[in-house]
């Protein structure tokens, strides 16, 4: 066991050296935390080796403060200053880490217990207990119950202490923690002893059970506590022989036999009950330097009784008066501390409720701000939506007006076109049927050529204002604005586009079908090439990618029309055909 401890300390020292070079102590702190339960002395050594000035982060400083306080407590070192643990409490309070916060408050309570600040100690333990229940840390709850129970017992609040120790015993059984169970049993026995003679048998049973279990451990502190309690119990049961037996066993376990005032007092008690007054006086006088008013009051009472039994009434009276001073002081102090305990309970509950209330208020304020912000955003979006809707309605009205005007213009142009075509047909018939001289024929040909030119212009204008041309422009504009469109080219739209193309270019699609055997989709692409629309947006109208459009165009030129690869383009071929047809 000793060799393992040396190895652990050497390992931690090596880690410390490595961390010093990197100025990163978090690894060492975690390692020390893992050793806390099994090797608290090794953990303490490692933590005390860390130079606190080299802890650069607030997290490491808080963690170090918590672990160092815990290690000292585990090694039964009495702590008389709570400034170190408050570093951890303040940090974990601000971070809201319930697990670390519970540990910090627990060890703050332990330090305050060592400092005899009973009210503050209980208040911190109670806060830690509330947090431990929230995070369901049963092990921490057990240690808290043990400490709160002791403080209640020390202030003669036996009912509260008994209830706490019963809870601690149940938790200890659940966890399989024998040490905690032993402490809970022995403390319950002492509480039963304080209730009076009728409860002595129950107290004896609980204490002997605790003693039997404690013999199997190497915990001298726990064994001493139980043995001294048993000696006191048998003293009260007027069994002097057993009182002396257990008092001697308790004294034998003392590491310091010079200043073990409580052990002297227990021995003096036992010898007094056994009517061995010389031995009793010897040990009782050795216990007098103790600062505890409870021990002083007990010592003076017994010494007074011994003097009275010896016939020295004056000395007995003087000792009784001196003892009464400590008894009164002890009673007043316990009353004050009992009230302090009650105040501490209330303060702890109020403080916890206040923190929960503040947390709820903080969350409520955050939620309220979020709701207000969301409301403003919704109002802004609604206003923007209404504005946009209004503008869209205006735009729709304007487009309707433009469309109406275009339709009227289109109808007018179509009427003019029909008139021109009728005139052209009439002139062509005149040229075929009648015999004119050369001057008249030339005049009719010139008129026919002018009418054909006007017809082409009218067809171009008609196509420009047609429904299908308007729809194609809208689809292209949608893709420019939103990269998508709710409109699509339907079968009727393509038929209209083919009809307009044929009228404009003298039945060119019929010739393409007859000469080149083009498919319907290929005819659609040729019609698009004969418009003034941008080629880059043909894919939007055909429902395919831009690369696919170019591939289809090349396939028509090479496979359908028989031109060599790369020799010409579809657009160029179509324009040449249009010139020939006109």
Q: Find the mean pLDDT for residues 554-580.
A: 87
Residue 391 confidence (pLDDT) above 50? yes
Burial class (CB in 10 A: 0-12, 13-18, 19+), 535: middle
Q: What is the pLDDT of residues 179-196, one digit of tens each?
A: 888 989 999 999 999 889
Residue 346 confidence (pLDDT) above 50? no
What letter does residue 560 receive in the DSSP assignment?
A: I
Please report, rounded to a whole number, the percentage of residues in the chain having pLDDT higher than 70. 77
Q: Give, in order, the Cα–Cα distances in Å from 54 to each of 11, 49, 57, 63, 269.
A: 20, 11, 9, 14, 53
The H-or-E segment that residue 90 falls in is helix 83-95
Is-contact 71 47, C-beta < 8 A? yes
Residue 236 makes CB contacts below 8 A (sequence gap 6+) with 193, 197, 200
Q: Which pLDDT does position 334 carry in this prediction?
A: 56
Nearest to 197 by CA among 237, 232, 158, 153: 237
Q: Which pLDDT does position 17 carry in this prediction?
A: 46
Q: Which pLDDT does position 16 carry in this prediction?
A: 47
Residue 38 makes CB contacts below 8 A (sequence gap 6+) with none
Q: Find the mean pLDDT for residues 496-515.
A: 83
d(CA 324, CA 296): 10
Is-contact 250 263, C-beta < 8 A? yes
Q: Which pLDDT does position 448 carry in this prediction?
A: 54
Q: What is the pLDDT of residues 127-171, one digit of tens each?
A: 999 999 999 998 898 889 888 888 888 777 888 888 888 888 898
Burial class (CB in 10 A: 0-12, 13-18, 19+), 320: middle
d(CA 562, CA 1): 98
Give the dihedral of Cα atoms 152, 153, 157, 158; nearest 10 deg.
130
Q: Find the mean pLDDT for residues 306-315.
A: 87
Residue 86 confidence (pLDDT) above 90? yes
The H-or-E segment that residue 285 falls in is helix 277-287
Q: Which pLDDT does position 103 carry in this prediction?
A: 94
- Phi first, then psi, for residue 223 (nearest 5°) are -65, -40
């Amino acid at each position: 066991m000793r060799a393992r401890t040396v190895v652990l300390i050497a390992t931690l020292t090596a880690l410390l050296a490595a961390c010093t070079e990197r100025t990163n102590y978090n690894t060492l702190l975690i390692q020390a935390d893992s050793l806390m339960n099994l090797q608290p002395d090794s953990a303490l050594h490692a933590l005390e080796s860390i130079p606190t000035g080299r802890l650069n982060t607030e997290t490491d400083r808080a963690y170090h403060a918590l672990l160092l306080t815990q290690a000292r407590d585990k090694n039964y070192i009495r702590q008389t200053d709570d400034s170190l643990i408050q570093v951890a409490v303040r940090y974990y309070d601000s971070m809201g880490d319930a697990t670390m916060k519970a540990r910090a408050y627990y060890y703050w309570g332990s330090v305050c217990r060592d400092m005899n600040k009973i009210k503050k100690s209980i208040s911190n333990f109670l806060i830690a207990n509330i947090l431990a229940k929230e995070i369901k840390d049963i092990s921490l709850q057990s240690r808290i119950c043990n400490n709160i129970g002791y403080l209640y017992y020390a202030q003669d609040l036996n009912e509260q202490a008994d209830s706490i120790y019963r809870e601690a015993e149940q938790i200890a059984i659940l966890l399989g923690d024998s040490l905690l169970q032993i402490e809970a049993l022995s403390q319950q026995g002492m509480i039963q002893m304080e209730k009076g003679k009728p409860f002595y048998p129950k107290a004896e049973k609980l204490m002997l059970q605790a003693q039997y279990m404690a013999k199997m451990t190497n915990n001298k502190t726990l064994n001493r506590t139980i043995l001294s309690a048993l000696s006191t119990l048998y003293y009260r049961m007027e069994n002097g022989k057993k009182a002396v037996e257990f008092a001697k066993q308790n004294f034998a376990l003392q590491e310091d036999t010079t200043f073990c005032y409580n052990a002297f007092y227990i021995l003096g008690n036992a010898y007094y009950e056994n009517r061995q007054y010389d031995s009793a006086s010897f040990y009782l006088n050795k216990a007098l330097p103790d600062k505890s008013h409870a021990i002083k009051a007990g010592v003076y009472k017994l010494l007074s009784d011994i003097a009275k039994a010896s016939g020295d009434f004056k000395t007995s009276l003087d000792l009784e008066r001196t003892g009464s001073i400590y008894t009164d002081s002890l009673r007043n102090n316990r009353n004050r501390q009992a009230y302090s305990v009650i105040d501490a309970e209330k303060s702890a509950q109020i403080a916890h409720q206040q923190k929960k209330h503040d947390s709820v208020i903080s969350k409520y304020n955050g939620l309220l701000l979020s709701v207000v912000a969301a409301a403003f955003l919704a109002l802004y979006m609604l206003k923007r939506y209404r504005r946009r809707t209004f503008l869209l309605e205006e735009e729709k009205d304007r487009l309707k007006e433009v469309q109406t005007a275009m339709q009227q213009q289109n109808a007018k142009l179509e009427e003019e076109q029909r008139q021109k075509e009728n005139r052209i047909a009439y002139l062509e018939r005149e040229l075929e049927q009648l015999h004119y001289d050369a001057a008249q024929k030339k005049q009719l040909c010139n008129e026919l050529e002018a009418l054909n030119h006007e017809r082409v212009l009218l067809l171009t204008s008609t196509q420009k204002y047609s429904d299908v041309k308007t729809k194609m422009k809208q689809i292209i504009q949608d893709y420019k604005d939103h990269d998508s469109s709710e409109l699509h080219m339907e079968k009727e739209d393509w038929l209209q586009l083919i009809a307009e193309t044929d009228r404009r270019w003298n039945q060119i699609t019929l010739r393409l079908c007859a000469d080149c055997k083009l498919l319907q989709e290929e005819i659609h692409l040729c019609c698009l090439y004969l418009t003034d629309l941008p080629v880059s947006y043909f894919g939007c109208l055909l429902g395919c990618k831009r690369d696919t459009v170019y591939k289809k165009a090349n396939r028509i030129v090479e496979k359908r029309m028989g031109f060599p690869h790369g020799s010409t383009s579809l657009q160029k071929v179509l324009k040449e055909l249009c010139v020939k047809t006109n």
